[in-house]
Amino acid sequence: MDIKNIQIVSDSLLCTGCGICSIICPQDAIQMKKDETFGVYKSIVNLEKCKSCGLCLSSCPPLTWSNEDRKNGRYNIYVGNFLKIFSGYSLDEKIRFNAASGGFITTLLIYLLENSYVDGVILTKRSTKDPIYSFPFIAKSKKEILEGMGSKYSPVKFDEVLKELRESDLSNIAVVGLPCHIEAISNIKDKRIIKKIKFKICILCGQNTNFLAYDYLMKIFNLKKSNLVSINNRGHGWPGFMELKTTDKIIKVPYTSNYSMGMILSSPVFTPFACHMCVDPVGFRADITCSDAWLKKYTNNDRIGRNLVLVKNSKILEILNEMTNKHLLSLNEETLEDFLKANENVFINKLKYAPLKLKFFLVNKKIKKIFFSKMKFDNNINLLESIKIYIFMLHINFIKKIGIKNIYKFLNFPILFYFKILNLLKKGKYNGK
């Protein structure tokens, strides 16, 4: 099949919204636009400008993702190559308490910057003008890094900040992003950008949340967007609280509440389709990946926060040793088994169920073949699992057909609770492969 540009990815509703294709296009033929129907960013190609050079195709995560063995340390199809795995947390009590889960990334970024390993850090923060939106920025001080601390469950595109980096005098940058961001950035060929990126730090990701989820929260809390001051998805202990602050009130709900990741923000209704089909949980081309330590030995008694850390880069390993010796981090070595068990459903959905979900999502067989063609999957799927995924995807295809924008205002808690139960169909067991 003759694929000329990235428009086929957007038309298939599998654009991750990373924005990389728009900055590498030599014809300036690609723009990132907000899809109002589905509450995400997507790429739009100006077909009159497009010369079908294929650069955009070579940058797109759904077309380039690979978990091949790169012969760098140990290997597993679920995480790719890695050197070591740790659990740990920041020894700065304030950072640990206010971060999403342990403060590891924030403490690492501050150390990298203050010890001249990097001269800037790209990370994400909420907009002060419209907090429903988040955007990446270049932090050049500890204060600015702290401004970007914590989780932001919303679409984020990197085109503008990488344009800024391309024109800047900075020479060594650490980038923090989700697996789709890390993959896309790794695909950049422009030396004015890629030569400046020294470390790629990934946040393990099961799924993101679209913009419409926050519109829905505004509705059920009877809030006006014009009065919204800030949104904090995590913080104040572990697993933390979501805080919506307006000009006249503060609404604070637990992370596991139905108003947060317990139902609304994790609902299949408000999950981008690209996330449903995603095959990369850890950022296969990252230097280090960080997640919550969702292990019973920690969750039963830890209310401050602890991270799991997958190290893929030998220089990062050296730096972590420095930081532990200087009593900046507490780290304990963990097993691959524990790392996978901590986020079991994430790994199963992306490396086991994703091909089946794609099969039910896309009708055109020729188009299906271009996605995730470089991936190795756990193909040990039984009949019951196939039936569960088929039922789940029937609902996702219904949402795709109707359009989230057209139904979300009519959603109520019973319907969302139904979709919460539906999410259980994606649960699976790691088989030790």
pTM of the model: 0.96
The pair of structure tokens assigned to 86 is 């740790």
Residue span of the structural domain in which 13 resides: 1-433
Q: Report the C-alpha dihedral over residues 56, 58, 61, 64, rounded to 10 degrees.
A: 160
Phi, psi for 276 (deg, rounded to 5): -60, -35
Strand spans (E) along 178-272: 197-203, 228-232, 241-246, 250-254
Over its length of 433 residues, how does the chain's per-residue pLDDT go in tens digits?
567 899 999 999 999 999 999 999 999 999 999 999 999 999 999 999 999 999 999 999 999 999 999 999 999 999 999 999 999 999 999 999 999 999 999 999 999 999 999 999 999 999 999 999 999 999 999 999 999 999 999 999 999 999 999 999 999 999 999 999 999 999 999 999 999 999 999 999 999 999 999 999 999 999 999 999 999 999 999 999 999 999 999 999 999 999 999 999 999 999 999 999 999 999 999 999 999 999 999 998 889 999 999 999 999 999 999 999 999 999 999 999 999 999 999 999 999 999 999 999 998 888 888 999 999 999 999 999 999 999 999 999 999 999 988 887 789 999 999 999 999 999 887 776 5
- What's at 102, amino acid-wise? G
- 324 exposure class (CB count in 10 Å sphere: 0-12, 13-18, 19+): middle
Residue among 200, 196, 231 nearest 215 (CA): 231
Q: Give the count of domains, the chain.
A: 1
User: What is the spatial distance between Cα 183 and Cα 59, in angstroms, rounded to a whole number?
Assistant: 8
Residue among 151, 173, 49, 153 nearest 106 (CA): 151
Check whether the bond before 239 is cis (ω within 30° of 0).
yes
Helices (H), 282-313: 296-299
The Cβ-side half-sphere exposure at 108, using a 13 Å CA radius, reads: 30
User: What is the spatial distance between Cα 190 and Cα 386, in angstroms, rounded to a whole number?
Assistant: 42
Strand spans (E) along 145-304: 173-177, 197-203, 228-232, 241-246, 250-254, 288-292
